[in-house]
Structure 1
Amino acid sequence: MKKILLAVLVLLTFIGTSCDKVDDLLTFYINQEETITIESTFPIGVVTPLSPIPVKTNSSETFKNNKTRAELVKDVSLNKLTLTIADPADENFDFLRSIEIYLSNDKGEETRIAYLDEVPKGVKAIELKSTNAKLDKYIKGETYTVKTRAAIAKPITRDVAIKAAMRFKVTADPI
């Protein structure tokens, strides 16, 4: 009886490990970088949307380079989103209280992908928390729009350019 139980455990471990390895082989990342601008006239203390940023995905080429097609992609999620002050060089995130990032498409669908409710002081780069939302419909499409909502903690005297580096994790089916 113990031998049968041991054999079943070994088989289940092998199957679980094999599935993880297959998923790893069929998983790749898409990096996207955009610039978000917060203007010096931005209102203080109110969550306000910033100008939307249209993004051309070039997904069919990316999928082809990773030996898959859009119809085989089974899961896309935000793996990492880092914001870094790009300009002015001497600025940090002290002016920002909170921030949310959304993706939307031409069908009017919108999904919150990342946020940070309390932005730390004295830093030039922040990593947002992913909502782990399913983003297939945005990344598989030809375009999507990045929308940002932010709350400013204190006035800024000049426009601030922020580099948004997004990394999407893509997993495809083998067939």
Structure 2
Amino acid sequence: MINEENFKFHPFMKKMFLAVLLLFTFIATSCDKIDDLLTFYIDQEETIRIESNFPIGVVTPLSPIPVKTNSSETFKNNKTRAELVKDVSLNRLTLSVAEPTDENFDFLRSIEIYLSNDKNEETKIAYLDEVPKGVKTIELKSTNARLDKYIKGETYTVRTRAAIAKPITRDVAIKAAMRFKVTADPI
């Protein structure tokens, strides 16, 4: 027969249960802190140029921009190596009109940004299907693509595809500020 005595925890069992619970809490918290220690960011800034004779209403590629990564130095500074990098993703990509200073993004309908290198296919990393009017700075939406193969290399190429909403009478320089999140194992 089941009675109340059978369901009471012995004082030792209560202490053991609390110890196990604390251990699991410590392990879960430690794993998050270790991931934070092994995560760092790489900031890259490039200039995209849109020429005044750019076609209107058609998604058209712009001239590709080659980028030297200096990744081995960046990994070394963060106490890791390329072969220990587990994951690289785009954390943020912000575009700002740099020149002419009185210009905003009213001329731009949509934009897509791609990365490629000589060993891999091109990967779309960010986009904005409808660019807001009257602003000088926009933040693109990340595709959350894995970018390890580009950032681990010595170089990659940034390619932009854009659709212009209205004619532009002068060349426009756009600053592209990219931030990559890197997670790696320690050396």
TM-score, length of structure 2 as denominator length: 0.89
Matching residue's letter, 1:162:
I
Give the structure with higher Rg (CA): 2
Q: 1:139 aligns with which of 148, 151, 158?
A: 151
Q: Which residue pairs with 2:161 in the alignment?
A: 149
Matching residue's letter, 1:39:
E
Q: 2:36 aligns with which of 19, 24, 36?
A: 24
Q: Is the 8 A contact 2:98 2:174 kept in 1?
A: yes
1:164 aligns with 2:164: no
Distance in 1, Cα, partners of 2:73 & 2:119: 23
Q: 1:23 to 1:154 in 2, by over 3 A?
A: same
Distance in 2, Cα, partners of 1:8 & 1:103: 47
Runs of 5+ consecutive residues of structure 1 not aligned to the other structure: none
Shift of 1:13: 2.5
Q: Which residue pairs with 2:22 in the alignment?
A: 10
Matches within 5 A, 1:107-146: 107-146=119-158
Identical residues among aligned pairs (%): 88
Matching residue's letter, 2:28:
G
Q: Which residue pairs with 1:83 in the alignment?
A: 95
Shift of 1:108: 4.3
Distance in 2, Cα, partners of 1:93 & 1:5: 60
Superimposed CA distance per residue, residues 108-141 of structure 1 (whole angstroms, 9 cap, x where no aligned partner): 4111111111111100000101111110000000
Distance in 1, Cα, partners of 2:60 & 2:153: 27
Q: 1:58 aligns with which of 70, 75, 91?
A: 70
TM-score, length of structure 1 as denominator length: 0.95
Superimposed CA distance per residue, residues 144-169 of structure 1 (whole angstroms, 9 cap, x where no aligned partner): 00010111111100010000000101
| Greater mean alpha carbon deviation, residues 101-110 or residues 51-60 | 101-110
Aligned residues: 175
Shift of 1:12: 2.7
Runs of 5+ consecutive residues of structure 2 not aligned to the other structure: 1-8
Q: Which residue pairs with 1:42 in the alignment?
A: 54
Superimposed CA distance per residue, residues 55-104 of structure 1 (whole angstroms, 9 cap, x where no aligned partner): 01110011111111101111111111000000000000000011000000
SS in 1 for 2:169: coil
Q: 1:106 aligns with which of 113, 118, 126?
A: 118
Shift of 1:6: 5.1
Q: Which stretches of structure 1, 4 residues or more, deviate above 6 A after TM superposition?
A: none
